């Protein structure tokens, strides 16, 4: 594979073989770098801390094959979110070669329903255009999670989409009908499908029903803790471009113990992250493990699993030069062995 000086793929040489032949050969498997649209932290650092936290988080996730990500905020007062975005500015601009590239910001709140906070701090509020404008001047906001049933939120979805932002439905007590209307207004995804939203009942399909019946895209956390494998299989059959996110926290890559998630203290124990009351609070998942879970626990082929940790997320964000190995795309790649253990990571054509 040849690369241009700026780090794009110039040409690819080789022959195509089946997935079975590829694994049986024992030769390295080369896949597009992983793309994670929901990252709160890693390596003991949290995006909401600002300063150099984002750079450290990008380095940790790159070590696990994630080559591009959205820095994800928590529900918080405006000043706290602004502090986080100020810490992201330089990393967004630089495209560092020692860590994942930050594609922009995922605002997971504060424009959510206070009745479906999950592990979000209690600062939920309706969407305010002036507030969003202030934040947009600090760092590029690419994705917003909101609850469409909160008064005023539904009416602003069109405007957000017109500004080039993606809108996801999440942390919502909304009905099936609310979900269908939000999709019609321009919303295009669902935040951590099944978690922090109204569930499916045969006489009240809820927001989960709206996603399963109508969504082209939705994110899901395949750590096998947040969502039962059977429910993941349902989503795989229903949502054509279901893609994986880590929803990772500062506890990712760290030993058991207490960590910060926004204004909350969370606890890593037995592979999970929870609030003191036991509520799930993000994860310690990395996307190399997500790939293995899809293949080894859910039975997906490597190609489909690769699409669900890379290509579909890129397509959701409208990125035609990421999540694929083809001339003109960024030369971000992962190399794995036959057991899907990560062997190396290449950013802009250079090994990490």
Three-state DSSP at 257 gives: strand
Q: Which of 36, 46, 178, 247 is catalytic?
A: 247
Please give the Cα distance from 82 to 106 (Å, whole number).
13
Cis ω for the linkage preceding 106 (within 30 of 0): no
Could you tell me what percent of the chain has a pLDDT over 70? 99
Please give the Cα distance from 196 to 117 (Å, whole number).
7
- Is the confidence at residue 19, as pLDDT, over 90? no
- Is the confidence at residue 104, as pLDDT, over 70? yes
Q: Say if residues 50 and 86 touch (Cβ distance below 8 Å).
A: yes
- Phi first, then psi, for residue 9 (nearest 5°) are -75, 125
| Cα 348 to chain centroid, rounded | 21
Q: What is the pLDDT of residues 216-264, one digit of tens each?
A: 999 999 999 999 999 999 999 999 999 999 999 999 999 999 999 999 9
- Is the confidence at residue 22, as pLDDT, over 80? no
Tell me the domain boundaries of the chain: 32-325
Instruction: Give the best-scoring range by mean pLDDT among 24-28, 127-131, 216-220.
Output: 216-220
Q: Average pLDDT of 199-210?
A: 98
Beta bridge partners of 330: 8
Q: What is the pLDDT of residues 315-330, one digit of tens each?
A: 999 999 999 999 999 9
Binned at pLDDT 50, 70 and 90, residue 97 comes out as confident
Whether 247 is a known active-site residue: answer yes
- Is the confidence at residue 23, as pLDDT, over 80? no
pLDDT of residue 154: 98
Q: What is the pLDDT of residues 144-194, one digit of tens each?
A: 999 999 999 999 999 999 999 999 999 999 999 999 999 999 999 999 999
Burial (Cβ within 10 Å: 0-12, 13-18, ≥19) of residue 304: middle
Please give the Cα distance from 139 to 84 (Å, whole number).
9
Closest CA to 288 of 67, 19, 55, 120: 67
Q: The pTM is what? A: 0.96
Q: What are the distances in angstroms from CA 261 to CA 49, 74, 267, 274, 278?
A: 9, 8, 10, 10, 15
pLDDT of residue 176: 98
Closest CA to 96 of 349, 314, 347, 323: 347
Three-state DSSP at 261 gives: strand
Binned at pLDDT 50, 70 and 90, residue 15 comes out as low
- Phi first, then psi, for residue 310 (nearest 5°) are -150, -70
Sign of torsion over alpha carbons 164, 168, 169, 171: negative
Q: What is the pLDDT of residues 276-293, one digit of tens each?
A: 999 999 999 999 999 999
Q: Say if residues 116 and 75 touch (Cβ distance below 8 Å).
A: no
- Architecture in CATH for domain 32-325: Alpha-Beta Barrel (3.20)
């Amino acid at each position: 594979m040849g690369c241009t000086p700026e780090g794009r793929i110039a040409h690819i040489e080789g022959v195509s073989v089946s997935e079975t032949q590829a694994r049986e050969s024992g030769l390295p498997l080369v896949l597009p770098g992983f793309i994670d649209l929901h990252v709160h932290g890693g390596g003991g650092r949290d995006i909401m801390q600002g300063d150099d936290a984002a750079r450290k988080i990008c380095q940790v996730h790159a070590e696990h094959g994630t080559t591009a990500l959205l820095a994800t905020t928590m529900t918080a007062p405006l000043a706290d979110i602004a502090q986080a975005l100020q810490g992201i500015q330089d990393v967004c601009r630089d495209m560092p070669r020692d860590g994942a590239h930050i594609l922009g910001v995922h605002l997971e709140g504060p424009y959510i329903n206070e009745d479906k906070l999950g592990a979000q701090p209690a600062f939920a509020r309706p969407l305010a255009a002036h507030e969003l404008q202030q934040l947009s001047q600090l760092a590029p906001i690419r994705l917003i999670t909101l609850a469409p049933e909160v008064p005023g939120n539904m009416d602003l979805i069109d405007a957000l989409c017109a500004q080039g932002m993606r809108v996801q439905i999440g942390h919502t007590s909304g009905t099936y009908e609310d979900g269908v209307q939000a999709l019609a207004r321009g919303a295009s995804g669902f935040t951590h499908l099944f978690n922090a939203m109204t569930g499916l009942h045969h006489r009240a399909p809820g927001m989960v029903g709206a996603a399963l019946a109508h969504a082209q895209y939705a994110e899901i956390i395949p750590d096998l803790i947040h969502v039962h494998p059977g429910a993941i299989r349902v989503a795989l059959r229903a949502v054509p471009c279901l893609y994986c996110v880590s929803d990772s926290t500062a506890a990712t890559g760290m030993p058991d113990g207490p960590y910060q998630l926004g204004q909350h203290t969370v606890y890593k124990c037995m592979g999970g992250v929870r609030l003191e009351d036991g509520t799930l609070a993000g994860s310690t998942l990395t996307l190399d493990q997500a790939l293995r879970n899809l293949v080894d626990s859910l039975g997906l082929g490597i190609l489909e699993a690769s699409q669900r940790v890379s290509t579909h997320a890129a397509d959701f964000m409208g990125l035609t030069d990421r999540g694929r190995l083809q001339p003109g795309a960024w030369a971000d790649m992962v190399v794995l062995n036959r057991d899907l253990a990560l062997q190396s990571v290449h950013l802009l054509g250079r090994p990490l």
